[in-house]
A and B are shown apart, each in its own frame.
Chain A
Amino acid sequence: MDDAVKRLVQDFVEVSQDPYRYLASWKQTHQQRLIAMVGMHIPEEIVHAAGALPVTLPHFGEPIVHASFRLQGFFCAYARSVLEAGLRGALAFADGIVLNDICHTIRATTGILERESERMPWLRFLWLPPDIGKPQALAYAVRELEGFRTDLEGVVGHPITDEALWQSIAMYNRQRRLLRRLYQTRRDRPGVLSAREMGAVVTAGMLTPKEDHANRVARLLEMMEGHERQSVRGAVPLVISGSLCEAPPDEILGLIEDVGGVVVDDDLFTGSRSFVTDVPEDGGNPLEALARAYLGMVAPCPTRHRDGWDLGNYLVQMAQHSHARGVVVMIVKYCEPHDYYKPMVERTLEQAGIASLFLETEHEDMEMGQVRTRLQAFVESLRAPRVSERMA
Chain B
Amino acid sequence: MTMQNELGAGPRGAGAPRRAAEGGMKMKPQINRMRTKGSEIMEGHYEEILRARQDGKLVAWGFGNPATEILEAMGIVEMHTGNHSARLAAAQVSHLLIEEAMGEGFSADLCSYAKINIGVALYLVRGKMGQLPERLQVPRPDFLFATSHCPIYTMWVEVIRRILDVPVFVIDVPYTYNDDKRWEQNLAFMEGQLRDLVAFLERLTGRPYDWAALKEIQQRLREMSQIRREIQELSRQVPAVRSIFDAIGSFGPSNTASIRCRPEAMEFFKRFKAELEQRVASGAAVLPEGEEVRLGWRGVFPWFIMGHLSRLTAQEKAVIVGSAQYGGRQYGWTGRERLPPDGIDPGQPLKTCAVQLLTNLFHPLTFQQRWQTEVVEWNEGFKLDGIVFHAPRTCRPWSYWSYDLADKAEKELGIPAIVIEADHADPQFYSEAQVDVRLQAFIETIKSRKRARERGKGPAPEQAPEKRQLEL
Contacts and interface: CB of A to CB of B under 8 A. Distances in A.
A310 B471 CA distance: 39
A143 B156 CA distance: 28
A125 B400 contact: no
A374 B192 CA distance: 50
A303 interface: yes
Interface in B96-111: 104-107, 109-111
B225 interface: no
A120 interface: no
Contacts of B185: 140, 143-144
A131 B105 contact: no
A103 B175 CA distance: 11
A26 to B, nearest CB: 29
B467 to A, nearest CB: 11
Contacts of A303: 151, 155
Contact of B397 (A74, A104, A127, A343): A104
A114 B401 CA distance: 12
A365 to B, nearest CB: 11
Interface of B: 1, 4, 104-107, 109-111, 114, 148, 150-152, 154-156, 158-159, 162, 168, 170, 172, 174-175, 177-178, 181-182, 185, 188-189, 192-193, 196, 364, 366-368, 370, 391, 393-394, 396-397, 399-401, 403-404, 408, 421, 469-472
30 contacts: A63-B472, A68-B472, A69-B403, A72-B399, A72-B470, A73-B470, A74-B109, A74-B399, A75-B400, A103-B151, A104-B150, A104-B396, A105-B400, A107-B364, A107-B397, A115-B408, A125-B177, A130-B148, A130-B151, A131-B148, A136-B192, A136-B196, A139-B189, A140-B174, A144-B185, A147-B178, A303-B151, A336-B152, A339-B109, A342-B106
Contacts of A143: 182, 185
A159 interface: no
Contacts of A337: 151-152, 155
A226 interface: no
Contacts of B401: 108, 111-112
A112 B404 contact: yes
A101 B154 CA distance: 14
A318 interface: no
Contact of A129 (B4, B172, B178): B172
A114 B185 CA distance: 24
B452 to A, nearest CB: 28
Interface in A69-109: 69-75, 101-105, 107-108
Interface residues of A, number: 52
A311 to B, nearest CB: 10
Contact of A302 (B1, B155, B172, B192): B155
A355 interface: no
B367 A344 contact: no
A342 B470 CA distance: 30
Contacts of A139: 188-189
Contacts of A162: none
B8 to A, nearest CB: 10
Interface in A276-308: 302-305, 307
Given A114-B366, A135-B192, 11 more contacts: A64-B472, A71-B400, A74-B394, A107-B175, A107-B400, A108-B400, A134-B172, A140-B185, A305-B148, A340-B110, A341-B155
Nearest to A147: B181
A130 B172 CA distance: 7
Nearest to B155: A340
A259 interface: no
Contacts of A127: 174-175, 177, 182
A115 B192 contact: no
A315 B107 CA distance: 21
A-B pairs, top 10 by smallest CB distance, nearest first, are A108-B400, A111-B367, A104-B396, A343-B105, A340-B155, A136-B192, A305-B154, A339-B107, A125-B177, A131-B172
Contacts of B181: 147
Interface string A117-137: 000000001010111001111
A72 B391 contact: yes
A348 B114 CA distance: 21
A336 B110 contact: yes
Contacts of A131: 148, 154, 170, 172
A111 B1 contact: no
A79 B400 CA distance: 12
Nearest to B364: A107
Given A111-B367, A342-B107, A101 B193 contact: no
B79 to A, nearest CB: 21
B396 A75 contact: yes
A72 B391 CA distance: 9
B121 to A, nearest CB: 12
A304 to B, nearest CB: 8
B175 A74 contact: no
A334 B367 CA distance: 22
Nearest to B398: A104
Contacts of A73: 1, 4, 470
A75 B364 CA distance: 17
A70 B366 contact: no
Nearest to B396: A104
A72 B114 CA distance: 21
Contacts of A129: 172, 174, 189
A346 interface: yes
Contacts of B172: 129-131, 134, 136-137
B148 A339 contact: no
Residue of A72, A112, A334 contacting most chain B CB atoms (<10 Å): A72
A69 B451 CA distance: 31
Contact of A74 (B154, B159, B370, B393): B393
Contacts of A112: 367, 401, 404
B400 A104 contact: yes
Residue of A63, A75, A111 contacting most chain B CB atoms (<10 Å): A111
A300 to B, nearest CB: 11
Nearest to A69: B470
Interface in A40-72: 63-65, 68-72
